[in-house]
């Protein structure tokens, strides 16, 4: 079996998968009105029963397929659920959906490679190795995508936290209560497609549904995996217990978080010369050396030819 035939099978699988996903996105696409409602009021656009499993809308065929495949996927349930929560992928079947997608991405290319060599008299050693590499690439690629999304979301939350704290201080000093302040910050930041605004909206929704403030704040800090949010939750809980001024506490914490953000930016700027060293040595200096010393080397080559003939 030639390599071209294997590549053709892989290309066919990728094209069919892309067509299926495109069809699914086209069928399940939201209307412009729904997107506008989510922009104006994220909690209201999700519906009054969005957080209740008993009245949730029925999942589509693609999600049902991913959930069915995910039941037989490999992975730690608790650690994977936490990683998906940090990445912002949540829901009743979020873990099964990710496991199903990772299983399809990993086993999808590997099975056709093995199937093409089952009836062939050639040895299966190389084919098994190629199938194992395809499976590892799909499996590790899905995990890498999840970790990268989690890091990106964590970074966005960390960078936006000082501005949210300043907005909370303004709301508290204007006379709003803590619950109303959280809801107001969630409304303002959620319109900017900001993950921390969505988290504040979820926190405000939990408080309106009757969950205690301490439990809601601890869940708020734990489900995002951001140390600054955990510290903020603990600070608000402690200030609420002691009866301290919440606005002064949040202003001091905002100054601290802003200093930490500036220190992270300075640290990243100091790492930049070291990161630029390898691209400079590999991609910039060799062409520069060729363009500057190349003509001189050619002249020296002709000169040595003349000397050798003489």
3-state secondary structure of 29: coil
Res. 148 pLDDT band, cuts 50 70 90? very high
Residue with tokens 């803590």: 178
Would you state the pLDDT for residue 49?
39
- The model's pLDDT over 44-69, given as tens digits with 9 standing for 90+, comes to 444 433 444 344 456 666 666 666 56
295 HSE (CA, 13 A, CB side)? 3
Q: Is 118 exposed, middle or buried (0-12, 13-18, 19+ CB in 10 A)?
A: exposed
- The model's pLDDT over 152-181, given as tens digits with 9 standing for 90+, comes to 999 999 999 998 999 999 999 988 888 999
Res. 127 pLDDT band, cuts 50 70 90? confident
- The model's pLDDT over 243-297, given as tens digits with 9 standing for 90+, comes to 888 889 999 999 999 999 899 889 988 988 888 888 888 888 888 888 888 888 8
Would you state the pLDDT for residue 297?
85
Would you state the pLDDT for residue 54?
40
Please tell me the distance from the alpha carbon of residue 171 to that of residue 133, in angstroms, as a whole number: 55
DSSP state for residue 55 in the 8-state scheme = G
Mean pLDDT for the stretch of residues 228-252 = 89
Percent of the chain at pLDDT > 70 equals: 72
- The model's pLDDT over 23-41, given as tens digits with 9 standing for 90+, comes to 555 555 555 555 554 554 4
Would you state the pLDDT for residue 168?
92
Would you state the pLDDT for residue 170?
92
Res. 122 pLDDT band, cuts 50 70 90? low
Q: Own/partner pairs for 117-125, CB < 8 Å, 24+ apart?
A: 117/1, 120/1, 122/1
Residue 43 pLDDT more than 80? no
Residue 212 pLDDT more than 80? yes
Residue 104 pLDDT more than 70? yes
Highest-pLDDT range among 31-40, 80-89, 106-115: 80-89
Tokens of 183: 């809801």
Q: Where are the domains of the chain?
A: 3-27+58-152, 156-262
Regarding pTM above 0.85, the answer is: no
Which stretch of 115-124, 220-229, 242-251 has the lowest confidence by average pLDDT? 115-124
Residue 306 pLDDT more than 90? no
Would you state the pLDDT for residue 81?
83
**Residue 104 Cα to chain centre, angstroms:** 20
Q: Do the beta carbons of residue 197 and residue 191 sit within 8 Å?
A: yes
Residue 20 pLDDT more than 60? no
């Amino acid at each position: 079996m030639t390599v071209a035939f294997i590549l053709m099978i892989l290309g066919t699988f990728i094209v069919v998968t892309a067509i299926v996903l495109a069809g699914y996105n086209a069928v399940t696409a939201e209307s412009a009105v729904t997107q506008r409602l989510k922009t104006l009021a994220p909690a209201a656009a999700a519906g009054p029963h969005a957080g209740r499993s008993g009245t949730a809308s029925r999942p589509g065929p693609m999600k049902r397929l991913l959930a069915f495949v995910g039941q037989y996927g490999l992975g730690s349930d608790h650690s994977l659920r936490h990683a998906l929560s940090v990445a912002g992928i949540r829901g009743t079947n979020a873990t099964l959906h990710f496991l199903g997608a990772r299983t399809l991405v990993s086993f999808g290319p590997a099975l056709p490679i093995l199937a093409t060599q089952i009836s062939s008299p050639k040895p299966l050693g190389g084919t098994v190795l190629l199938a194992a590499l395809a499976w590892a690439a799909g499996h590790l690629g899905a995990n890498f995508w999840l970790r990268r999304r989690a890091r990106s979301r964590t970074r966005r939350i960390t960078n936006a936290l000082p501005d949210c704290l300043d907005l909370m201080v303004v709301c508290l000093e204007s006379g709003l209560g803590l619950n109303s302040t959280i809801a107001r910050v969630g409304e303002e930041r959620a319109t900017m497609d900001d993950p921390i605004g969505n988290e504040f909206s979820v926190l405000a929704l939990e408080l309106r549904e009757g969950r205690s403030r301490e439990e809601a704040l601890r869940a708020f800090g734990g489900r995002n995996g951001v140390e600054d949010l955990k510290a903020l939750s603990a600070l608000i809980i402690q200030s609420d217990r002691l009866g301290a001024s919440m606005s002064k506490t949040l202003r001091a914490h905002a100054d601290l978080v802003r200093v930490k953000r500036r220190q992270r930016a300075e640290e990243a700027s100091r790492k930049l010369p070291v990161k630029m060293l390898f691209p400079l040595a590999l991609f910039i200096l060799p062409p520069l050396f060729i363009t500057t010393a190349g003509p001189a080397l050619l002249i020296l080559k002709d000169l040595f030819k003349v000397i050798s003939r003489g």
